[in-house]
């Protein structure tokens, strides 16, 4: 193999070795002998003139060159596989690697269950889940499905609205036992408010009386701010203060009563305009079966109202 020759089967084998962590496990998954896997990987490394793996007694790990190379070529292989699947297997069962990208907190909170139920139906689909709070171009990075908050700018993809962002002011019963519950938005000025701080600055709180009115900013303060929403949620559960979070981040706590919703006669946001959660994916004609199946599964499972806004039924 020459250096500029792309051997797709060899690249797939390299990825299998990375996914399984050893030549033995890769051999079992690819139904080859361990020696055959080792020979093919070695031949690929010699052709490249670079060592891609460190060999250990029972496992392998990527060298720095191997990590850079595999990170660069994997999206290309997946694009080729997706294109082939679309052209020749339109009626086939969903299979292959499904690349999913989402914001960190949303992905951690809501996607494991969705992915688990999806893969229970489609066992030939593997998922590559990437979480980032920075918007990454899903076309350039070859993501099959991307979840984002706010209207996406990329017009080459379908942007399917999933649900509005419903923000809720909430606090733990322990905190509310020591501090009078706020009765109006301005009462929050007297409370410890725990706020998220990310790449775009510290979280601002906005309220309005009804859907037709404009949002009014409220300058709250408190003892803790963080770039990790889960840490802030845990601090609120411990009684450190109040949070303003989307319902999808605290639905289980609201259902369990470990967080109590406050000021529900008002609508809340962290921007001057209400936003939606979107699911981005390619047009049906360009999307492989795995993507179409996952999109349909997400729409069916989330529903209307969205599953994370059904916590009230659990409290009755």
Q: Give the separation between CA 264 and CA 259, rounded to whole angstroms.
A: 14
Task: Give bridge partners of residue 146 from the DSSP assignment.
Answer: 101, 280
pLDDT of residue 102: 96
pTM of the prediction? 0.69
Which part of the chain has CATH 3.40.190.290? 167-269
Helix (H/G/I), strand (E/B), else coil: 202: strand
CATH code of domain 167-269: 3.40.190.290
Residues of the chain with CATH 1.10.10.10: 8-85
pLDDT tier at 128, thresholds 50, 70, 90: very high
Residues of the chain with CATH 3.40.190.10: 89-164+275-315
More confident residue, 138 or 132: 132
pLDDT score for 6: 61
- pLDDT at residue 242, as a whole number: 99
Give domain 8-85's CATH number out of 3.40.50.300, 1.10.10.10, 2.60.40.420, 3.40.50.980.
1.10.10.10
SS3 at position 98 = strand
Query: What CATH number matches the domain at 89-164+275-315, 3.90.1720.10, 3.40.50.11060, 3.40.190.10, 1.10.340.30?
Result: 3.40.190.10
Pairing status of strand 225-226 against strand 193-198: parallel
């Amino acid at each position: 193999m020459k250096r500029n020759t792309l051997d797709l089967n060899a690249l797939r084998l390299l990825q299998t070795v990375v996914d399984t962590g050893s030549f033995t496990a890769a051999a079992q998954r690819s139904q080859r002998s361990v020696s055959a896997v080792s020979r093919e990987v070695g031949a690929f490394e010699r052709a490249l003139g670079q060592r891609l793996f460190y060999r250990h007694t029972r496992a392998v790990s990527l060298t720095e060159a191997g990590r850079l190379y595999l990170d660069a070529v994997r999206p290309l292989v997946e694009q080729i596989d997706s294109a082939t699947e679309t052209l020749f297997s339109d009626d086939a069962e969903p299979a292959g690697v499904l690349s999913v990208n989402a914001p960190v907190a949303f992905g951690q909170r809501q996607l494991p269950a969705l992915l688990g139920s999806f893969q229970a139906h489609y066992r030939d689909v593997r998922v590559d889940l990437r979480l980032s709070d920075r918007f990454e171009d899903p076309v350039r990075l070859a993501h099959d499905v991307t979840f984002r908050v706010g209207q996406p700018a990329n017009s080459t993809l379908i942007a399917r609205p999933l649900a509005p962002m419903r923000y809720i002011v909430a606090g733990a019963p322990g905190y509310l036992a020591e501090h009078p519950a706020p009765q109006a938005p301005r009462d929050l000025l007297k409370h410890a408010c725990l706020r998220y701080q990310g790449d775009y600055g510290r979280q601002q709180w906005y309220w309005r009386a009804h859907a037709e009115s404009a949002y009014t900013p409220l300058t709250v303060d408190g003892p803790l701010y963080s770039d990790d929403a889960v840490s802030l949620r845990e601090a609120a559960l411990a009684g450190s203060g109040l949070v303003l979070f989307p319902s999808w981040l605290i639905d289980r706590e609201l259902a369990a009563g470990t967080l109590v919703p406050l000021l529900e006669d008002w609508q809340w946001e962290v921007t001057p305009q209400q936003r939606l959660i979107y699911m981005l994916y390619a047009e049906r004609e360009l999307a492989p079966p795995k993507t179409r199946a996952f999109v349909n599964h997400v729409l069916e499972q989330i529903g209307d109202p969205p599953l994370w806004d059904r916590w009230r039924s659990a409290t009755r």
